[in-house]
């Protein structure tokens, strides 16, 4: 029964149940039943439409603005607004700031967790350590979830996959593609998300004879190279475009990763490309 149906079931003149008791039994707030919507004055309606138009223009230019910065910008533009009103309007307009979301890969308590193996380890050759992680990309309707497998020494993205859901399958697909290249890491590092702690994922690594390493809880710097990759992907590709759907996101991301591996010069790689380092065409100086 919806809230409206429960309110309609109330009987103010019931002979046996008081109105208060009826509200308790139906789980309805008494104050809510007394409220009657007030018609918006035409001038106020016009002001609200102007606010909506300006807010849409601000959000189009700065989609990272939440309601606080949106309210501050509107006040700078001469509008007398508070955060509560701006938050309501943004919710009604469906405007949500682009920002990191929590718990993309929540842990499963029944899955096995592995210790972090890379503390103090010097990364000095390709295929010594691979890592994987998940990030999200906002689409006009929903989200695209992106995972990648990267070689730590060369920063080469060995494989990637995009999905409309957070099921384990797309992470496993990326892993299989990376291993299909014929090379194998000594250590594979991930976070403790349920996709990576699942029996299917850890079992595939163990079958290949790969040692499994997992970040400590809340320690983003344990997987810093992949986190830095996501920053590059977002600022040099995603934020510059507006993907219409998952198919377009996959197409454009494929072009970006090809450029990232084969043409993008990395300062940390002495201005070489990841492909050149991974394939041994250039050697990084020791230390």
Residue 223 tokens, joined: 């997987």
Measured at the alpha carbon of residue 44, what is the angle toward residues 42 and 46, in degrees to the nearest 5? 70
Q: Is residue 159 part of a domain?
A: yes
d(Cα 279, Cα 269) in Å, to the nearest integer? Answer: 13
Helix (H, G, I), strand (E, B) or coil at 163: strand
How confident is the model at residue 5, as a pLDDT? 83
Are 191 and 83 members of one domain?
no
Are 67 and 151 members of one domain?
no
Are 67 and 139 members of one domain?
no
Answer yes or no: are the C-beta atoms of 122 and 228 closer than 8 Å.
Answer: no
Q: Is residue 68 part of a domain?
A: yes
Are 80 and 152 members of one domain?
no
d(Cα 63, Cα 244) in Å, to the nearest integer? Answer: 16
How confident is the model at residue 175, as a pLDDT? 96
Are 231 and 249 members of one domain?
yes
Are 189 and 229 members of one domain?
yes
Are 137 and 269 members of one domain?
yes
**Domains identified in the chain, total number:** 3
Q: Is residue 149 part of a domain?
A: yes
Q: Is residue 248 part of a domain?
A: yes
How confident is the model at residue 262, as a pLDDT? 93
Residue 221 tokens, joined: 């710097």
Give per-10-residue mean pLDDT for the chain (287 aa). Answer: 80 88 86 72 75 89 86 91 91 79 57 83 92 90 91 95 91 95 93 89 94 74 82 91 92 96 90 92 71
How confident is the model at residue 74, as a pLDDT? 92
Backbone phi, then psi, for 157, in 5-degree steps? -85, 110
Task: Provide the 8-state DSSP code for 27.
Answer: T
Nearest to 143 by CA among 162, 167, 124: 162
What's the whole-model pTM score?
A: 0.62
Are 180 and 246 members of one domain?
yes
Residue 175 tokens, joined: 């892993």
Q: Is residue 257 part of a domain?
A: yes
How confident is the model at residue 141, as a pLDDT? 81
Strand partners, 144: 137
Q: Is residue 47 part of a domain?
A: yes
Are 263 and 177 members of one domain?
yes
Q: Domain residues for 51?
A: 42-93
Are 238 and 142 members of one domain?
yes
Q: Is residue 145 part of a domain?
A: yes
Are 188 and 133 members of one domain?
yes
Are 58 and 199 members of one domain?
no
Residue 260 maps to which CATH number? 3.30.420.10
Q: Is residue 101 part of a domain?
A: no
How confident is the model at residue 249, as a pLDDT? 95
């Amino acid at each position: 029964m919806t809230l409206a149906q429960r309110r309609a079931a109330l009987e103010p003149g019931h002979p046996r149940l008081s109105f208060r008791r009826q509200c308790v039994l139906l789980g309805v707030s008494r104050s809510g039943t007394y409220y009657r919507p007030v018609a918006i004055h035409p001038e106020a309606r016009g002001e609200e439409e102007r606010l909506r138009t300006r807010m849409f223009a601000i959000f189009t230019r700065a989609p990272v603005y939440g309601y606080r910065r949106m309210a501050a910008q509107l006040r700078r533009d001469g509008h007398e607004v508070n955060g509560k009103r701006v938050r309501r309007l943004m919710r009604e307009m469906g405007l949500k700031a682009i920002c990191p979301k929590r718990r993309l890969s929540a842990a499963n308590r029944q899955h096995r967790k592995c210790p972090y193996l890379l503390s103090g380890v010097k990364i000095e050759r390709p295929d010594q350590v691979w890592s994987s992680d998940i990030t999200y990309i906002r689409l006009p309707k929903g989200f695209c979830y992106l995972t990648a497998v990267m070689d730590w020494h060369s920063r080469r993205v060995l494989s990637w996959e995009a999905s409309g859901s957070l099921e384990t399958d797309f992470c496993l697909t990326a892993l299989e593609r990376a291993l299909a290249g014929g090379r194998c890491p000594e250590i594979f590092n991930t976070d403790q998300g349920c996709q990576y702690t699942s029996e299917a994922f850890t079992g595939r690594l163990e079958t290949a004879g790969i040692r499994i390493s997992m970040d400590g809880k809340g320690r983003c710097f344990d997987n810093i190279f992949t986190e830095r990759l996501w920053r590059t992907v977002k600022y040099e590709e995603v934020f510059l475009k507006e993907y219409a759907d998952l198919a377009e996101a996959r197409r454009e991301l494929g072009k970006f990763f090809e450029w990232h591996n084969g043409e993008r010069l990395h300062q940390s790689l002495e201005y070489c490309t990841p492909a050149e380092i991974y394939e041994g065409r250039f050697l990084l100086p020791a230390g």
